[in-house]
Structure 1
Amino acid sequence: MASLAFSIAGKDNMSKARAGEMVTDHGVIQTPIFMPVGTVGSVKAVNQQQLEQEVKAQIILGNTYHLYLRPGLDVLEKAGGLHRFNGWRHPILTDSGGYQVFSLAANRKIKEEGVVFQSHIDGSKHLFTPENVMDIQRTIGADIIMAFDECPPYPSEYGYAKKSMELTHRWLDRCFTRLAETPDKYGYSQNLFPIVQGGTYKDLRKTSSQYIASKGAVGNAIGGLSVGEPEEMMYEMCALCCENLPEDKPRYLMGVGTPWNILENIALGVDMFDCVMPTRNGRNGMLFTSEGVINIKNKKWADDFSVIDAGIDCATSNYYTKAYLRHLFVANELLALQIASIQNLAFYLHLVTEARKHILVGDFSSWKTEMVVKLKTRL
């Protein structure tokens, strides 16, 4: 068992973008990388073979809160962890449940000990603490596990954001203590990433980034962005965090975002991304493609017999036509959800793979400028 290792293969001269490689016990991840979100151990509407062969995903996410409630820790432990339970042979990252706690504001109570929350399934009460969230993530068995944090909403008063950040830091210390007291499960290493908080306040973000950096973790995350703040503010906070986080460790920006958000944040020095947008928007008929954004439900696509996206290497995108996919949506066929989700995820992975190539070649910044305009185009 080896801890996660990270090395930088190349950097862009005109920005902070870098191409790297993360090595985990379940395989190598080339960065920058996008991670499909598999909330309850599955990426909605896409099976694991499609993720591997068509989307070309290298790592997926599981969600601690949802997996803890269903199927539950007993089932996951008996299975030998989430990898064996869902058949995914590559790396997995679990988030700590902190974001779900944030989104369940009406059904939770935050205290020093942890968070008491009500299950969205049956209303039962549960307590998440930094200690038991580490235990839960050990049992789920991810390669990368996230610290338990509090994610303040946007906007937040300065006083609240500061108190929240300080609580997140105290909880982080308890996460590290608990991990040191407990062994890895299932015969491979489980690596903790702390999370920077601080709302949209520069001094708090700097303080939090420096505190997180001082912990010497194998990787670090930036949380609490993409929660409703303007894009420019997100970029400003992200840049500040990247400046204060170690350069020789991977940086993960949680829950971001659109294709252009991803390119702009790669330019700021971020290595890892996740977001439900490609699958959620796909299920509603919004396609992200190499030529721009398509609302496939529009009548203009009814007799367009060109393939969905010839610009990416994905069998599904290169096989089905826009007219056929529109027909499936109009007819409420389940296949529509699968095809659109595969297209969007395959495009996101294509985008970060292309970004990596351009970083290594040395023309990332000029390529990014052109791509952002194209990506925002509504077709």
Structure 2
Amino acid sequence: MTRALEGFRVVDFSHVVAGPLATHFLALNGARVIKVEAPTGDLLRNYAPSRDQWGMAPAFRGINIGKDSVSLDLKTDAGLATAKRLMAEADIVVENFRPGVMERLGLGYEAARTLNPRIIYCSVSGFGQTGEMRDVAAIDQIVQSLSGLMRLSGEEGDPAMRIGFPIVDTYSGLLAAFAIQTAVIQRERGLVESQNVDVAMLDATLVMLASVVNPLLMAGQKHMRTGNRGFSRAPTADTFACRTGELTVGAVEDHHVAKMLKVLGLTDLLDDPRFATRIDRLKNADAMRAKLAESFSTRDALDWEHAFRAEGLSAARVMDVEEAVAMPHLAERGLFLEVAGERVLNAGFRLATGSPGTDRGAPELGAQNEKFHKAAT
């Protein structure tokens, strides 16, 4: 037993992405996660374009590896009785229904604490368990819209654009896992007997946008949409079209810019007063970028990538996700697990001892019904 949460039991009433992703990380860290599903199953089971994948869609399987599944109808006495018994035996409970639903079922935090005084109870919702918006319905793209996230990318004047994956759900799940493990530490150190963890997707998204929100709060600095230009806004930290493909470079400091211009054959630009210093380059960013773009167009992105890296500079050609996951480097890093004959993402970090992982695939709906229902009778 070397993984951090081995010996801990989690009862997971959550569905789709945010809650299940939180318990996914708990499972990878050794916790036994019992996934409680409605008789129809988690909606994510059917998030696949092909009907023959419904029930065990790849999106579902990928974040539910290593878990048990029990299907319960929480509107029946028998289902509620089993749910309460599971909660009484759990260390951690996770749910992501709308605020008030679990309380109406008799499965809220206070009820859970009565069943188990040492329970850690985590609720993930759109806007939190308190506040005037607590009852407003929310999914990932709604929070992307409301938080300002959809107006950060692109160029000034472009229409709003959703980030191309459920980034709000993903970060909220990660933050929930961190919050739960924080509560575990509090309890194990005797600082609290139990804990009620409240994670709101809107809160989490604004925390994720700290590099935008903090400058606004602290200095009234508004975000500017700069396309593919980096956080520094430097014209030498941008993405450029090449003869074939595109290349992203990240030269901000003066010595890096000098090396970059050497590779591009444009060292004379440093003699131009418009581009001599970082501030000058910011003031004349469009003119600087035009000079760079002309040079980049003369060679292939892969050639430029090799040339920049040979000088110790940060550069990468733009790749599809399919190309990215095929990089040998990632396999060497142990980023993937081989589970049930499939390759799936691991947690994304390694430990010298007790690294995260599992050798169990995602469960079929109600795979452990016989065990848990029998125990309840």
Give yes or no for TM over 0.5.
Answer: no
Structure whose alpha-carbon radius of gyration is higher: 2
The TM-score normalised by the length of structure 2 is: 0.31
The TM-score normalised by the length of structure 1 is: 0.31
Higher strand share: 1
